[in-house]
Every structure is written in C-alpha cells, then in structure tokens.
Amino acid sequence: KNMGFAGYFLITADFVKYAKTSSIPVGPGRGSAAGSLVSYALGITNIDPLKHDLLFERFLNPDRISMPDIDIDFCIERRGEVIDYIKKQYGEESVTQIITFGKMKAKQVVRDVGRVMGYSFSEVDKIAKAIPNELNITLDKALEKSPDLRKMSEGDFKELIDHSKVLEGMHRHASTHAAGVVIAPSELTDYIPLYKSSTNDITSQYDMKGLEELGLLKMDFLGLRNLTVIDKAVALVNANGGNVDLEQLSFEDEKVYDLFAKGNTIGIFQFESSGMREFLKKLKPTVLEDLIAMNALYRPGPMENIDSFISRKQGNKDIKYLHKLLEPILKETYGIIVYQEQVMQIAHEVAGFTLAEADIMRRAMGKKIQSLMEELSLKFVVGAEKNGIKKKKAEEIFSLIEKFAQYGFNKSHSTAYAYVAYQTAWLKVHYPAEFMSANLTSEMRNIDRVVVLINECKKMGIEVKAPDLNVSFEDFRPIDKQSISYGLNAIKNVGSKALETIIEERKKGGTYKTIFDLCSRVDLQKVNKRVLESLIMSGSLDSIEGKRSEQFLSVDDAIKYGQQIQNQKNLSQVDLFGSSNAQSDLIKTPVLQP
C-alpha cells in the first residue's frame, strides 16, 4: 500500500478470478510473484510461500522501488479471452497490447544490406552462414570467431560488412509483443501515442521499458501449452466418468516419483531433455523439493553442481556446512546453495541484513557490481561478527555466497513450475492414454513432435491407431487404456471445417460405406478434392470399400455423384449401393461403383 501497488494486485486478482470462473486454465504461479503471500491469499498464485520458504522481498523490495512484475501463464488457446475481458472491464480506450521492435542482428543486417547493395542471394547467404549460430552474437564477435568471415571482410565484401556494422542493432520493424498488455487509468492517448499496424492492430508506440519509465501498468499474459495439455487430459478423464481435481494433489505419490527416477519424462513439463532425464535417473527424486532443485540446477552455470547434489542426496558424499547457521537454510539442497532466496536468507541470518538489504546484495552479486559488493562485503563481515562469527569464517561465507549468487535461480519460479511438472507426471502415471492424447493434440501441427510422442506411446504399451474416418475425431482421443485414435486434424491439407462436416454427418447418419456415400452426405465446398485425396493417402478411408489406388482414381466421379445427389430434390431414399437413374450417365468406366 505504501508503494502504491494495491491497485495492481487487485486488477491482477480480478482477471485471474475471471479466468478461473470461466474455466480458462491458469498457472499456479510464475517468477518471483509466487513468493508473495498477498498473491496467494488473493488467488493469483496457488503456491503457499510459507510452506516453501519463498521470500516476499525477492518479489517486491521496499528499499528498491520498482514496478512489481506478476507474470501469469494461461492456456495458450484461451489467453485471448482474458485480454478481451480486460478491454471490456477497463475500457477499450484504456487497454492495448504493447509494441516490440525487431532489431537488425548480425545475420539479418548482412542480408538486408547485401540485398540493398545489389549482391546476389548466394553471395549474401554465404556471408550470413559464416556468422556463428550463437545467441546475441555481434559482427565484431563473429569476426573474431570466424576465419571465413574475417577473410571475406578483408576482400570483396569489406564495404558490405562495414555498412552492416553501422546499422547493426538498429530497429528493423515493429510487431506486437507476444504477452504484454498495458492498462491506463483513463484513455491511453492521455499518456502515450498509439501505433496502427498494417493489419490494423493497435498497440502502444512505446515499448515495455518506455511504458515502465512512464509508470504505466503493464501486464504479461503468457500462453503455456502445458496448461492446455493438462486441461484437455482432465476433460478426457472426466468425460469418461472420472473425477480429477489437480488442485487437491498431495505431492507424495511414490509412483509419480518413480516415473521421474526412471527418466520416463517425455511429455513432462520442464523435464523432457535427454540430459535432464539422465540426471533424474542418477538422482532418483523422492520429494517435490528434489524436482524444484533440479528445475533450478539444470541451467548453464549451476549445472556443474548437479553431480555433487546427486552424490550428497545418495549419501555418497558428506554434507558439510561452513557454519551451523547455514544448516537449516541449505538442508533441503544438501548443503549446496541453489536458490537466490538462500543467498538472501544467509545474509539475513548470518549478517543480520534485512531481507530488503539481502535482496540488494543478491542483485549486486548477480550483476557483478564491484563497488557495491565491496561495500556490502564489509557490512556483511561486521554484521557476522556481531553474531559471534569470526572474521575469517565470515569472509569464507561471503565468498561462498558470492560464487553461488551468480548462478542462483529464483526458487519461487522453480517451485511454481515444479508444481506443473508434477501435475503432468501424475496424469501420465494414472491416466496415460488421456494424457498422451492431450499431448498429441497440442502438438498435432508439429510432425516431428508427433513422431516423438507416438514412439513414447509405444514404449508405454499404448497403440496409436491409424486414422480412420469412421472412428477418429479432429483431435487424438483415447479409445481405451491401451489405445488412442489418431487425430484427423493432424493430417496435412485437412482443415477443421472439413472435419466438422464429416464428423457431424457421421454422428447423424452412421458410418460411411464408400467414397460415394461420403461425398453424397457432406458439404463438398468444405470437403473438396484436395481434402479427399489427403484422407485417402493417409489411410483414413481404409475402412471403407476399395483400395487406396481405386479410391484415389474415383475422387472426381465421387464428387460429381455427390453434387448430383445433393442437387436433386426428394432423393433421400435413393439406394446408394444399388442402381439409380441419377447415376446412369455419370461415369463411363468407373473404378469404384457408386
């Protein structure tokens, strides 16, 4: 309240409540907001910060006033509904999405400059490919690392690369930020200019940082695919007579931890990579805290501590503490500093820092602000001495936390995401067919992922049956505990509108007997030649009359027949499998007969 943020919390609680009452899946929390008891009490997060030793000062520090940041994860398919609600609740003129600027990065700037200077595509492509594929690489760094690029920059392409260096880092184009939304107290135009894109989307003309500096309220509405998977899986379970409520899980299910211990985590949020699976097999997690720690450790930097963490967990390595005050803080991570919150707690307990001061120290260490660290080091040692700790020991403890603070991860975020991981693993253990169906549906546009997930189904003893027009639906669905029907929408060139008419008619009139039967009953403007050919080639019509080759050659005839049947009045009683006057002059030498 003193910092003027009460309204921010209430607005956030309002749209989260709307999402939950509208059955739009919302994440249990994200980032440092999970450390706020107010967020938990208002229903913004589902993580009890007292239970997990999460610190409010990691989220909002009264000694370092800056805008709070409550990022919320929503179901990726329904995130837009929440944004629409906010526009309706606070006024269209007061809410808009935020602009973001694409910059001319190393490869892009070379391609753009090369095109303008009249170089051929192959020449420019050769230069761009000589730039190493590293995140945030600059042309100067690329010239140091790539002998090929350096050679080109000294020869015929010197001018191109010189011009590219001048333009590198400049804004190239504007687009809409994937998650950001800004809310103003009155009309936005009282505070900021707006931007209209070529597709008529309205966004702010200032980016995130500019809006923050103005003190405007910005929210992040993030789409998380795994929430969609969980929602679909639970819906499939409950549709078959189940009664699953993931909010009531105990987090003590041995079967779930056994799944993690065996590394069977394909489809499990945050635990899918091959490296992570190998570490899980060694670790053999038994409690949620192990998952929280692995989530935090499996990142560049902290990764080097994983083997030591595992050895201590297994009892193969002694757990030692520099001082007895560190034991209650580091016990859950076997004496290793894993979290930023632990760094803050040590400063608080050992040196008597307030948690707000401890947060400032953590930030200084993480950002390597040398002048501030020297000042804090002195303060830390003096504070520790007041607690009866000798100067040398205090300096050792400060050096230890200084080393780990650079790598430490936000425990609040790790805890929230471990909750989601546990929920997905629980579903995989207890409702495997429903869980894998939901996963396959969410990835159906990504053929590579579909292959990975189908292979995982095989390992689990679940058969993903071939697509069948008379059995399958748009999405993947469990037939029973051991089998899943293939989602027809995963077939290329077969859209949702075509499938709607096919499945709706199947429900009304029963299964399809022939391709002619199919074409006489569905909307042929939606189920066109391309759709039919794709269904045939995918094997979706294997359950009806004729070989695929025969069906393929009959497509044109079947469409003509279907149009003729649908255009004639009072032909509902026509015998589709016998003869009729309507079909006598339809085709001369049909491959399959109507």
- Per DSSP, the residues of 243-306 read ---GGG--S--HHHHHHHHTT--TTSTT--SHHHHHHHHHH---SHHHHHHHHHHSSTTGGGGH
User: How far is 271 from 285, CA to CA, in rounded Å?
Assistant: 12
3-class secondary structure, 46: coil
User: How far is 578 from 524, CA to CA, in rounded Å?
Assistant: 22
Question: Tell me, what's the pLDDT at 495?
Answer: 87
Which whole-number Å values give the CA distances from 501 to 381, 473, 551, in the listed order?
74, 11, 20
Going 342 to 345 to 351 to 355, the CA torsion angle's sign is positive
3-class secondary structure, 71: strand
Residue 575 corresponds to which amino acid? D
CB 52 within 8 A of CB 415: yes
Question: Tell me, what's the pLDDT at 203?
Answer: 92
pTM as predicted: 0.84
CB 34 within 8 A of CB 47: yes
- Let me know the angle formed at the C-alpha of 262 by 237 and 224, rounded to the nearest 5 degrees: 50
Backbone angles phi, psi at 343, to 5 degrees: -60, -45
142-186 per-position pLDDT tens digit:
888 888 888 888 888 888 889 999 999 998 888 888 788 999 999
Backbone angles phi, psi at 316, to 5 degrees: -85, -10
User: How far is 369 from 114, CA to CA, in rounded Å?
Assistant: 40
382-410 per-position pLDDT tens digit:
999 999 999 999 999 999 888 887 788 99
Burial status of residue 378 (CB atoms within 10 A of its CB: 0-12, 13-18, 19 or more): exposed
Residue ranges of the chain whose pLDDT lies below 50: 569-574, 576-589
Helices (H) and strands (E) in the chain, counts: 28, 9
Question: Tell me, what's the pLDDT at 212?
Answer: 85
User: How far is 408 from 358, CA to CA, in rounded Å?
Assistant: 14
User: How far is 426 from 246, CA to CA, in rounded Å?
Assistant: 9
